[in-house]
Amino acid sequence: MRVALFVPCYVDQFYPDVAMATLELLESLGCEVEFPEAQTCCGQPMANTGCLDDAKPLARRFVEIFGGYDHVVCPSGSCTSMVTHHYQELVGCDAAYQQLQSKVHELTEFLVDVLKIESLPAQFKARVGLHNSCHGLRELRLGSSSERMLPKFSKAESLLNMVEGVELIELERKDECCGFGGTFAVSEEAVSCMMGDDRIHDHLKGGAEVITAGDMSCLMHLEGLITRQKLPLRVMHIAQILVGRPV
């Protein structure tokens, strides 16, 4: 299986180990992984702020670069959602995009739905709180959300439960936004910080030692609040836990 690794900008610049952990994980599961070096931003920041004309060439470039692969895997729900749910208005009825759209997957989605893995050799001894990002939950449907009367499920939880030593804690509000929201954190700083503090408090109350998620952008926001307040918590992307990075 020829897989392209699509790495979000903030992971590339600030959290490169997340990309490396994703690569190690995919290769350990038998995937032939390539990293197209010509890849750029998916255009989400521009689109979110209404600059659609600036996002269009990035969307077309993405389709051009990733079109020839069996699958494209991204360790980010928001960037994946941008490509699979919002490129239509940027590229129109482009035949190449139509063929690519269903091949782009968020990491946990790929592991559960495509590879259908049932076990992992990793060990990670810690009490872990899972933060469900908004894009992953409500656009990609990586887990059940509280406003829908459907059977409960979580692709991330199913994977974490395969890791020896992980103790998943219970949260009072499993699917509440962390307050990041990209440029929302800039334009509505006070509200964003209050929402982030609420999420951190929920994890602390549950006894978490580590907060994990499929989106490093959410974790970056929470990490800033945790660091400034010197709280006894760490943040780690789920890929780092699934390959057994040390706490």
What is the model's pLDDT at position 64? Answer: 97
Q: Report pLDDT digits (tens) over 142-169.
A: 999 888 888 999 999 999 999 999 999 9
Please state the rounded mean pLDDT for residues 91-95: 92
DSSP 3-state of 245: coil
Residue 187 pLDDT class (50, 70, 90 cuts): confident
Residue 138 pLDDT class (50, 70, 90 cuts): very high
- Amino acid at position 30, single letter: G
pTM above 0.85, yes or no: yes
Backbone angles phi, psi at 246, to 5 degrees: -70, 150
What is the model's pLDDT at position 186? Answer: 83
What is the model's pLDDT at position 65? Answer: 97
User: Percent of the chain beyond pLDDT 70?
Assistant: 100
- For residue 216, the surrounding DSSP H or E stretch is helix 216-229
Residue 129 scores a pLDDT above 90 = yes
Residue 15 pLDDT class (50, 70, 90 cuts): very high
Region of 55 on the Ramachandran plot (φ > 0 left; ψ -120 to 50 alpha; else beta): alpha
Q: Report pLDDT digits (tens) over 43-64.
A: 999 998 899 999 999 999 999 9
What is the model's pLDDT at position 239? Answer: 98
Instruction: Delineate the domains of the chain, giving CATH numbers in brackets.
Output: 2-113 (3.40.50), 119-242 (3.40.50)
CA 181, CA 218: separation in Å to the nearest integer?
8
DSSP 107-167: HHHIIIIIS-------EEEEEEEE---HHHHHTS--B--TTS-S---BHHHHHHTTSEEEE
Location of structure tokens 């689109």? 47
- Chain-wide mean pLDDT for the chain? 95
Residue 228 scores a pLDDT above 90 = yes
Q: Report pLDDT digits (tens) over 103-112.
A: 999 999 999 9
